[in-house]
Structure 1
Amino acid sequence: MGASTQARVKPQPSMDRYEPLRHRTIALVGLMGVGKSSVGRRLASTLGLPFRDADSEVEAAAGRSISEIFADLGEPTFRDGERRVIARLLDGPPHVMATGGGAFMNEETRALIKARAVSVWLKADLEVLARRVGRKDTRPLLTGKDPMEVLKAQAEARYPAYSEADVTVETGDAAHHITVGQVIEALSAHLGEPAE
């Protein structure tokens, strides 16, 4: 009876094919609205890694929202806290991390990510991003401004830094699960492992 019971048990899906992707933290960078948090959560789940959202971690450390930090303390204070939080996260075990849109602009943060993680630039057309971020009014950098104009200025300022990421994934307007597949394929190619 024991043998026949065993024969009927289906084997659990193996995570072995993702093993090479689980040895270093994967840091997602890119402009607001590109899906770093949403894609990051799905990617972490697929790879069997923890997920960390740097913005949420900053809010938890500060005991206030990012909007409040910007309004009460200013962007430089937020960026300093962001840098310290990301450094702390990078000291931990491998995980998938969504960074804030401006985090990779900080030279020290960029160097830390390069040393302790593999970075992925999620890139999408500005028109797609403007449509996405225009749906919410929770982003302090957009308060009272035209999203497209803000995004154009950010792209001009930030793309040179983002281009230093280890991997670039052009997401288009794809569903998040498709982007996750693209990220896994790009990371596998970058790390010299076949994607399945």
Structure 2
Amino acid sequence: MNMRVFLWGFMGSGKTFLGKSLADALQVPFYDLDAEIETATGKTISTLFAEKGEPCFRALETDTLHTFQHKPAFILACGGGTPCHADNAAWMKKQGITVWLNPPVEVLVRRLLPEKQHRPLLAQVPDTQLETVIREKLAQRSTYYSQAHLIIRDEHVDISAFKNQLLLMARQYMASNPHP
């Protein structure tokens, strides 16, 4: 089955970690959109933000996302802002199954605090304001994220159950969209 899954969610939601595990379970390739951009440009996401600014980065992100149109099967961990720009959310929903990984804010804070220096949108945020900034960003992005086909709210995800749920959704998706 040509399983095409786009993982959405805030930074630290587990898109890459879960994506790799899910790809192994489904025996499909795993990709990380940020890693694809870094490979294509030879620059880190932080460097691209610093040198080019967010609008230029978002255009590059959308272009890179669209390269997945012809891949038959994959799990793609999208950047946290990917569904919120251009027409990316609608485009991904037409291409495959979209999943919003939405753990509690407290979990995001715990995960992001030790690594925020590597996150361009959080690097300058004081530790004491991290939770507030995450809540504000989530409020802005939830309109897009909530459009996903599936929303996972748990901190710990059972890969086997997740896999089975996606297989069922993929069958339903393929029945109603035979040519994504």
TM-score normalized with structure 2 length:
0.87
Which residue among 130, 134, 137 is the counterpart of 1:154?
137
Using the alignment, how far apart are the partners of 1:186 and 1:164 within structure 2?
18
Counterparts of 1:179 and 1:142, CA distance in 2: 29
Aligned match for 1:139, one of 108, 119, 130: 119
Report the Cα distance in structure 2 between the residues aligned to 1:30 and 1:62, rounded to whole angstroms.
Answer: 24
Aligned to 2:101, which of 122, 141, 144?
A: 122
Q: Which runs of 5+ in 2 are unaligned?
A: 173-180
The answer as to 2:154 corresponding to 1:171 is yes
Contact 1:36 1:98 (8 Å CA) reproduced: yes
2:135 counterpart letter in structure 1: K
1:59 to 34, 38, 41: 38
Provide, for residues 128-187 of structure 1, a one-character-per-residue CA deviation record: whole Å limited to 9, x for no partner.
Answer: 101101111200000120321221111100111111001111122x2xxx4423422432
SS at match of 2:118: coil
Displacement of 1:192 in angstroms is 5.8
1:31-60 deviations in Å (ceiling 9; x for gaps): 110100010011001100000100000111
Report if aligned partners of 1:69, 1:78 keep a CA contact under 8 Å in 2.
Answer: yes
Give the letter aligned to residue 148 of structure 2. A
From 91, 114, 127, the equivalent of 1:112 is 91
Q: 2:119 is matched by which residue type in structure 1?
A: R
SS of 1:96's equivalent in the other structure is strand
Structure 1 residues 74 and 154: CA distance shift in structure 2, 3 A: same
Structure 1: which 5+ residue stretches go unaligned?
A: 1-21
The AA in structure 2 aligned to 1:150 is V
Distance across 2 between alignment mates of 1:80 and 1:107:
8
Cα shift readout 1:101-121 (whole Å, capped 9, x = no counterpart):
000102421122011111011
| Superposition pairs of residues 5-20 of structure 1, within 5 angstroms | none
Give distance in 1, aligned partners of 2:146 and 2:161. Answer: 17
Q: Which amino acid is 2:13 matched to?
A: V
